[in-house]
Structure 1
Amino acid sequence: MKVRDFMIKDVHTVSQDAPLSEVLELFVSKRINGAPVVDASGKLTGMISDGDILRYINPQRQTVYDMFSYVFISQPEELEEALSYKVGTPAKKIMKKNVQSASPNQDLEEALRMLAKHHFKKLPVVNNEREVVGVISRGDLLKQIAGRLNKLNNETVGI
């Protein structure tokens, strides 16, 4: 079995220059939790997930700075305050940069090993030019496997 047989071909990508507000809109409207990040020519530059976004917008706690025997205490930040200046941040500042990817012609077992080894939820699938042509996600992969198992069981039973 090959990656191309299991990958999702209708992929939602994010421009590396897209502001956080646009990424959030995409995630909510398409009900996705991650997406490949691409440059202007459509080449993969990273991945961004809902976890990356939550870690980035996490309001700062009260911080104590000791500078030359002067103590400064920053006030805790509220979520609205954090969002007010973080929504314009481009995806390239939040994304994971050194991402693993799969090829459409790669054996599915290799992609499964990458997903398991690195604890990825999604793995971008790229062609020889590093353009995103699909994505493999753990959830979709499990649905496909379960569907194939059901089909095999029904054939075995004679249904």
Structure 2
Amino acid sequence: MVKSFQGVRKAEPKKSPIPQILVKEYMSTSLITFKPDDTIDQVMEVLTKRRISGAPVIDASGALVGIISEVDCLKEIIKGKYTNTPKFPAKVSEHMSVHVLTLSPDLSIFDAASRFLDYKIRRFPVMKDGVLLGQISLSDIIRAFPTMKHTTW
């Protein structure tokens, strides 16, 4: 019978995990926000001036209550066509999306990219512990990928 003894093996150092790129690194924190009582006229003016396609809607206490987008504004434009009104006095609360999907700031941008594909929306508010911290858009996600190195991919 042959016995083999290799001696004491030296433990290989554990490789540190590859750092993930997180939503909080690419989200916008200087947000344009609207109030539920703002008018669609006001929203369209700001969206056009700031060259953005939507924004969070917050109440008087700063809590997220919805999101308003260019698509939501189109609803009022079409209504104005039928009623022959060139102004759009409807309130944001009448057209905003109230079932808002949010992301955590600690979510990886790969997971965020997957959510954009799954839900087919252009922006997610970023929240932690019920507090609105920022917003990440599809454009922010796309902007993140060219900066990645093969070690973070």
TM-score range, shorter chain: 0.7 to 0.9
C-alpha distance in structure 2 between counterparts of 1:114 and 1:82, whole Å: 38
Specify the structure having the higher radius of gyration (Cα). 2
Residues 1:135 and 2:141 are matched in the alignment: no
Number of residues of Structure 1 aligned to a counterpart in Structure 2: 131
Amino acid at match of 1:97: V
C-alpha distance in structure 2 between counterparts of 1:30 and 1:133, whole Å: 20
SS at match of 1:77: helix
TM (normalized to structure 1)? 0.73
C-alpha displacement of 1:95: 0.6
CA contact (8 A) 1:58 1:82 kept: no
Runs of 4 or more, structure 1, over 4 Å off, are none
Amino acid at match of 2:86: L
C-alpha displacement of 1:82: 3.4
Amino acid at match of 1:29: K
TM (normalized to structure 2)? 0.76
* Structure 2 match to 1:91: 92
Alpha-carbon deviations, 1:14-50, whole Å to 9, x = none? 1111111111121112111110111111111111111
Amino acid at match of 1:137: S
Residues 1:124 and 2:125 are matched in the alignment: yes
* Structure 1 match to 2:11: none
SS at match of 1:15: coil
Q: What is the 5 A alignment of 1:5-154?
A: 5-59=25-79, 77=82, 81-84=84-87, 87-129=88-130, 131-146=131-146, 148-149=147-148, 152=149
SS at match of 2:125: strand
Q: Identical aligned pairs, as a percentage?
A: 26
Amino acid at match of 2:136: I
Amino acid at match of 1:17: D
Structure 2: 5+ residue stretches without partners: 1-20
C-alpha displacement of 1:101: 0.4
| C-alpha RMSD over aligned residues | 2.2
Structure 1: 5+ residue stretches without partners: 61-75, 154-159
